[in-house]
Structure 1
Amino acid sequence: MDLSACTNWLCAKRQPNGMPAGAPQDYQSVVTSGPGPSPGSSSSCDDVVPPQKNCFRLVMLGSARVGKTCLVARFLGGKFQESYTPTIEDFHRKLYRIRGEIYQLDILDTSGNHPFPAMRRLSFLTGDLFVIVFSMDSRETFEEAIRLREQIIETKINAGASSTGVGLTRKKTLPRVPMVLAGNKCDKEMRTVTVEEAQTFCDSQDSCCAFVETSAKRNFKVDEVFYQLFLVANLPLEMAPNHHKRVSASFGAPCPLPPSAPGHHGKKYHLSVKRRLSDACGVVTPNVRRPSIRTDLMIMRTKTCSLGEAPGSSSNSPIRWRRVDNGCILQ
């Protein structure tokens, strides 16, 4: 699959209303919502459908057997499984209610063997946040983590340039990509990567790259991995595992999140910080389906067009996307 060709074709082939030629009738809703609710998800109630600006996709990357899936399991449910099962690709969704707003976090847990390079590149282009996992007892996985970061940045730069039809000889602008390098398995006695080395590398990068030493097995600093990610992404810190109340979704319930409490606007500004944090809640959406490849290509088209039309744009918030009538712009 030539994703560059897909990007150029999708950005070029537009109908008068800004939609690609031959696009389905529901294309507007698919693209507008970014990673938004997929068909068959349980978030069918209007009061738990997040606005597009609050929808984000987190991509977990790294070599095989470094603990990507274990970190995801800890993040979603505080669980850990000793046995190893190779991951092909897993998709999860978590909904939050934070200070009266609904947020949606889609998590794409990728394979460490990357049998389909085009799919991996597609995950680079559709991802908003990234956690790159390596093992502290394996130098090869650390070197692979560095390569992955370089590939993500380069892919987003090239996609933005190709969407404008301008050659890659023009000056490249480094995109802002919130990212955490997670040094997992720090409980191992033998290490081939030091904390100082990993921290020095992240310090040499931009302000959106952080390093956290962690252990999914011991549940050591797993919360810190995602806390730092949401911090550099300028997202609500209540999205971190230990900063909100976990709600269990009831089987068959149309709305995974509980009803919002009636607002007391006159008193909300007098609540303590601890009380405001305790009001945040999150729930893992059951039976959610991964968006189709076609939907991902539409999302990729929106994001790459936006990169190309807003070169050099800087912001203190993560990349957010929306459609307009005649094209894509960066919000």
Structure 2
Amino acid sequence: MNATERLYLPVDGILAMFDSLTGHYLSHTAHPVLQSTALTPVLQHPKVSNISKTGMGIIKTVKGRWRQQDKRAVASRSSSSGNRQVSADRLPKRSVDLLELGLTKPRNCHRIVVLGAPRVGKTNILQRFLGGEFEERYEPTTEDFHRKLFHIRGEAYQIDLLDASSERDFPAKRRLSILTGDIFLLVFSLDDKDSFSEACELLSEVKAAKAKLLKMKSAAIVPAVVCGNKADLVAQRAVSRSQVEEILGEDVSFFEASAKDGSGLEGVFRALASVGGLPAETSPSRHRLLPILAYRSLCVGQRGRRGGRARGLGAPCAALDPLARRPSFTSDLRLVLGSSTKRSKPEKCQVQ
């Protein structure tokens, strides 16, 4: 292989990669340097400076294509929840935390922890709460974290939703999720007795963990709702309402629902709001979804107004944070230890 070929082949490799990214041939591109490099045979030993300029031009063009693809992907995620298309250049650079931004109060920030056996429909129930549709295809959930922001009667609310499915075999991680939760949704399938037994065990674990955190001698009464999903499968039903009510007692709200046809879910969402001290308008049927930027502008504008005349005006609305990520385990541990030391002397971590 001569010197000319040794210099020509690497450029061909880069050009092939560029073709795969752009979806068209370089013969149709307007970049003159790329055209001359790809289509004109190298008849003499090229100068090193020329190759460097050509390579830099290709790299800059490819990077530009990558940036455009990333922006389109972020904008697509933002619009997939029913919002209008928003320019990716104007999307928030990171997750929107209303408490950090000073747009809400600590009492208006809540975390809902969803627990239950696999394949009982936890993900689809969450999607219904977020305003999405039922997904027929089942994919095991490792961990889902969502953030829904509300603006109701002049006040901003932040609700984090954690589906801790991956923590089923990791008691310490599950315990940490329980200790950081404010409201609990326990889901089982009405056609599966074992899933109901697991939901009962999880409820007992939640009560015991909260009691230990609060230094109570008996099991704590926690804001929890139990949902028997798949009520549409009447012929396959294996758990009766009387059995559930007899075991759960009167301390826990129980609802039968179907994530597939949506029946009964309104009662579940209203109960979650009631036990957690949230406005009834947090139920999906009681508010409209906005793009995240429109919601943020609304909160900022509301905070900038003086006087109380503007409070309460406007229909309840909400937005989904497309960049929401679960806080680190370190942050959750600090939250747990902080809540413990407020009530008593500093003590060892409760997550063993």
Superposed pair shares fold, TM > 0.5: yes
Partner of 2:245: 199
- Is 1:292 matched up with 2:328? yes
- Is 1:90 matched up with 2:144? yes
Which is worse superposed, 134-143 or 152-161? Answer: 152-161
CA contact (8 A) 1:65 1:112 kept: no
CA distance in 2, matches of 1:154, 1:309: 18
Larger strand share, 1 or 2:
1
Which string of whole-angstrom CA distances, capped at 9 and with x for unpartnered residues, describes residues 252-271 of structure 1? x79375665678956979xx
1:179-198 to structure 2, matched below 5 A, reads 179-188=224-233, 189-198=235-244
Partner of 1:175: 220
Structure 2 counterpart SS, 1:97 = strand
CA contact (8 A) 2:99 2:106 kept: no
Partner of 2:87: none
Structure 1 counterpart SS, 2:214 = helix
CA distance in 1, matches of 2:296, 2:217: 44
CA distance 1:192–1:246, shift in 2 (3 Å) = same
CA contact (8 A) 1:56 1:128 kept: yes
Compute the displacement of 1:153 (Å): 0.6
CA contact (8 A) 2:98 2:158 kept: no
CA distance in 1, matches of 2:175, 2:254: 23
Partner of 1:136: 190
CA distance in 2, matches of 1:103, 1:44: 8
CA distance 1:46–1:229, shift in 2 (3 Å) = closer
Which string of whole-angstrom CA distances, capped at 9 and with x for unpartnered residues, describes residues 60-86 of structure 1? 000000000110011102311111111
CA distance 1:257–1:141, shift in 2 (3 Å) = farther
Equivalent position amino acid for 2:132 in 1: G
Compute the displacement of 1:160 (Å): 3.2
CA distance 1:301–1:267, shift in 2 (3 Å) = closer
Which is worse superposed, 188-197 or 121-130? Answer: 188-197
Partner of 2:296: 255
| TM-score using structure 1 length | 0.68
CA RMSD of aligned residues (A): 3.0
Structure 2 counterpart SS, 1:199 = helix
Partner of 1:55: 109
Structure 1: runs of 5 or more not aligned: 1-38, 162-170, 270-275, 311-325
Structure 2 counterpart SS, 1:114 = helix
CA distance 1:68–1:257, shift in 2 (3 Å) = farther
Partner of 1:79: 133
Compute the displacement of 1:195 (Å): 1.8
- Is 1:246 matched up with 2:289? yes
Determine which structure has more spread, i.e. the larger CA radius of gyration. Answer: 2
Compute the displacement of 1:101 (Å): 0.9
Structure 1 counterpart SS, 2:148 = strand
Which string of whole-angstrom CA distances, capped at 9 and with x for unpartnered residues, describes residues 3-52 of structure 1? xxxxxxxxxxxxxxxxxxxxxxxxxxxxxxxxxxxx93135798773211
CA distance in 2, matches of 1:122, 1:198: 27
| TM-score using structure 2 length | 0.64
CA distance 1:46–1:62, shift in 2 (3 Å) = closer
Compute the displacement of 1:173 (Å): 4.4
CA contact (8 A) 1:63 1:144 kept: yes
CA distance in 2, matches of 1:147, 1:254: 39
Q: Report % sequence identity.
A: 38
Structure 2 counterpart SS, 1:58 = strand
- Is 1:226 matched up with 2:269? yes
CA distance in 2, matches of 1:145, 1:233: 19
Equivalent position amino acid for 2:230 in 1: K
CA distance in 1, matches of 2:332, 2:167: 21
CA contact (8 A) 1:62 1:112 kept: no
CA distance in 1, matches of 2:159, 2:104: 10
Structure 2 counterpart SS, 1:77 = coil
Equivalent position amino acid for 1:116 in 2: F
Which string of whole-angstrom CA distances, capped at 9 and with x for unpartnered residues, describes residues 273-325 of structure 1? xxx7x72111111111210010000111123334x549xxxxxxxxxxxxxxx
Structure number with greater CO (CA < 8 Å, separation at least 6) is 1
CA distance in 1, matches of 2:98, 2:208: 37
Partner of 1:106: 160
CA distance in 2, matches of 1:185, 1:58: 21
Larger helix share, 1 or 2:
2
